[in-house]
């Protein structure tokens, strides 16, 4: 390995000067992907950057998969790319995964029991890594592999996501940095890095406005732990959003009508509206639908996890004051829009560590309206966001639980059916619960809105049945009648709860 750079090592980017003059600053241990991969022990925990499928290391994980087999626990902030969740699975190197399974390869391995998977709330994961909360399967050294747009001897600037990189860099025994020339240096303008103190000395997060900044663009680290710097020019695989169909547009219309009425009656929204949307095509479509909502003179901001194309549309249309998130999960067109005009967007877009973007205290402080999706919802408002038939995981809870539990108004949106209308996503009793009936305030399908606030369980069941697909309502009504005959505050007919259709 060799170190090389002609720049002044004292040049550390700051909030006042967030864009470094060069990618590599100071004498650095630059090396090849294969040489960097050789640093990873046979048994280790990999802490990889990335969130929403962007900002993750690409060449070093690929080189690990091509080398001698290892037993690795892989921890990311959220979804990452195939170089990690396909190649490391197919090579047999991945034996345990936290906290998300974003593609078919790793999902199949988890559901077959070949890879152990443990789902975690995003807001808690940084602390669990920092303070030893992930006990099982994390023996051996920790190696952080982080993508950056620039690096110095004791600092780096993240690329298209922040995620939990600050905590991973602080915690790791060894640090490998991939410097990606496909990402613009100007991304330093959007980063606001703030690492919280450890309890019991942890104070409040000093944000009084969701669009304030409290840090700078760089993640600092102990230079003794920087083992390798690898250069790459491989871009992120852009997010692919499905075109909104009739169902998505109907859900958006129902949501917008509900929000318009809520603006008139809810004092929480009298002065300002802070919105959060879940990751994915439905969330992106719902953002686009908000152009039909008249917010009056209220300031409207996004306070959530990811910046998607719909948010750029809202920013460009003057509907948003700004967006606070942890990742730029954009399509190819969205990436081009932002990269070509980073300085302008940086005035309105802030990327923070995920334990800040998803912090329960801030979600509560800013009165966030959280809008997330689900696999299914039962008659009483319990939400399954992660498993098919209660057993087969399809993703992970991500930040949905952070916002469902802590938002002042938690909204679940979903189509009323799946599998071309053959399966109802409104069910009597969901066999897997991610968000309990105490967390979901409102459920929206293309069939209507069920406002569950203040309702008894029997009243909730009636409201949820009304927004099911008409093909399944009669069966749901029959189930409710059978359940009611047994009595109870939350009536169930357990003998038919999972086999309730005629």
Token look-up 């003794």 returns: 224
Give the whole-angstrom CA distance, residue 172 versus residue 169: 6
Burial (CB count <10 Å: 0-12, 13-18, 19+), residue 40? buried
Burial (CB count <10 Å: 0-12, 13-18, 19+), residue 456? exposed
Characterize the bridge pairing of strands 349-351 and 376-378. unpaired
- In the chain, what is the greatest distance between 2 CA atoms, to the nearest angstrom? 80
Q: Which residues are catalytic?
A: 305
Identify each DSSP E strand in 308-416 by its residue range.
322-325, 327-328, 349-351, 369-373, 376-378, 383-384, 387-388, 392-393, 409-413
Give the whole-angstrom CA distance, residue 450 versus residue 445: 9
How many other CB atoms sit within 10 Å of the CB of residue 6? 8
> In Å, how far are 20, 29, 478 from 307, measured between CA atoms?
24, 33, 43
Q: Which two tokens stand for residue 2?
A: 């060799």
Q: Which two tokens stand for residue 304?
A: 């959530």
């Amino acid at each position: 390995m060799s170190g090389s750079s002609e720049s002044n090592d004292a040049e550390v980017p700051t909030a006042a000067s967030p864009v470094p003059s060069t990618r590599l600053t100071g004498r650095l241990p630059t090396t090849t992907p294969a040489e960097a991969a050789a640093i990873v022990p046979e048994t280790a925990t990999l802490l990889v950057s990335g969130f929403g499928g962007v900002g993750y290391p690409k060449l070093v994980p690929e080189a690990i998969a091509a080398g001698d087999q290892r037993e690795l626990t892989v921890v990311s902030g959220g979804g990452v790319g195939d170089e990690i969740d396909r190649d490391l699975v197919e090579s047999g190197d991945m034996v345990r995964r936290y906290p998300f399974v974003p593609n078919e390869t790793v999902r199949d391995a988890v559901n077959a029991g070949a890879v152990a998977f443990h789902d975690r709330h995003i807001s808690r994961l940084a602390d669990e890594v920092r303070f030893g909360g992930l006990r099982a399967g994390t023996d051996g050294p920790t190696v952080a592999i982080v993508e950056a747009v620039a690096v110095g001897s004791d600092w780096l600037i993240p690329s298209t996501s922040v995620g939990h990189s600050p905590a991973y860099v602080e915690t790791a025994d060894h640090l490998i940095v991939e410097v990606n020339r496909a990402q613009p240096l100007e991304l330093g303008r959007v980063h606001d890095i703030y690492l919280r103190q450890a309890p019991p000395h942890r104070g409040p997060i000093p944000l009084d406005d969701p669009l304030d900044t409290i840090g700078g663009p760089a993640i600092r680290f102990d230079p003794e732990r920087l083992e390798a710097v690898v250069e790459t020019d491989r871009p992120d695989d852009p997010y692919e959003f499905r075109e909104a169909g009739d169902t998505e547009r109907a859900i958006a219309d129902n949501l917008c009508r509900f929000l318009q009425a809520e603006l008139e009656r809810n004092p929480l929204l009298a002065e300002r509206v802070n919105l959060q949307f879940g990751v994915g095509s439905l969330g992106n479509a719902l953002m686009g639908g908000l152009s039909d909502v008249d917010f009056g003179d209220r300031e409207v901001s996004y306070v959530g996890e990811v910046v998607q194309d719909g948010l750029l549309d809202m920013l460009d249309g003057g509907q948003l004051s700004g967006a606070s998130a942890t990742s730029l999960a954009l399509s190819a067109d969205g990436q081009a829009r932002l990269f070509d005009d980073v300085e302008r967007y940086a005035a309105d877009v802030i990327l923070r560590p995920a334990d800040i973007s998803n912090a329960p205290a801030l979600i509560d402080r800013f009165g966030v309206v959280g809008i997330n999706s689900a696999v299914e919802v039962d008659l009483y408002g319990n939400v399954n966001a992660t498993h098919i038939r209660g057993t087969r995981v399809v993703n992970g809870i991500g930040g949905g639980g952070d916002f469902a539990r802590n938002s002042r108004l938690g909204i679940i949106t979903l189509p009323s059916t799946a599998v071309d209308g053959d399966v109802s996503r409104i069910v009597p009793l969901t066999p897997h619960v991610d968000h309990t009936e105490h967390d979901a305030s409102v459920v929206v399908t293309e069939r209507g809105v069920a406002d569950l606030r203040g309702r008894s369980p029997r009243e909730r069941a009636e409201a949820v049945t009304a927004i099911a697909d008409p093909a399944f309502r009669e069966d749901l009504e029959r189930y409710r009648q059978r359940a009611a005959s047994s009595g109870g505050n939350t009536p169930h007919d357990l003998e038919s709860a999972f086999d309730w259709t005629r």
